[in-house]
Amino acid sequence: MILKPERLNGVHPDLGRLVARAAELAPWDLMILEGLRSISRQQMLFDQKASRTLHSKHLVQPDGMGHAIDVAPVLDIDGDGDREASWHWPHYNELAVYMKRAAAELGIRVRWGGDWESFRDGPHWELVP
């Protein structure tokens, strides 16, 4: 199941297809943390050093859509019975397996922020032109 699917509004439909298939493959639900961003939100993240660019694929691209989403696995991290988005790298590494498998099945070219060398971003997925 995809939690917060409304956060897919304004992003390229391939990203919605990708996360929907990954949610079918994964053993837990997935939450869309963020999709399309305003330039003011991007500026804020840049200023906080949570992003290294003002030219994010989360911003509207020439085709009028965002080309990036942030996705998190949702599980009971602390054992209290409530599920929450995980921020633990082992969960993102596992999520990457399902996202990459879904991308291969669907023929969607994506790049995972967890594969970046200088600024690893576990939740981040973006379309590759």
Q: Which two tokens stand for residue 5?
A: 């699917």
pTM: 0.93
Q: What is the pLDDT of residues 12-49, one digit of tens each?
A: 999 999 999 999 999 999 999 999 999 999 999 999 99
Q: What is the pLDDT of residues 72-109, one digit of tens each?
A: 999 988 889 899 999 999 999 999 999 999 999 999 99
Pairing of strands 29-34, 2-3: parallel
Distance (Å, whole) CA 85 – CA 73:
6
Distance (Å, whole) CA 126 – CA 81:
32
In terms of Cβ atoms closer than 10 Å to its own Cβ (0-12, 13-18, 19+), residue 4 is middle
Q: Which domain holds residue 63?
A: 2-127
How many structural domains is the chain composed of?
1
In contact, 12 and 89? CB cutoff 8 Å:
no
Is 124 in a helix, a strand, or coil?
strand
Q: What letter would DSSP give residue 41?
A: H
CATH code, domain with 71: 3.30.1380.10
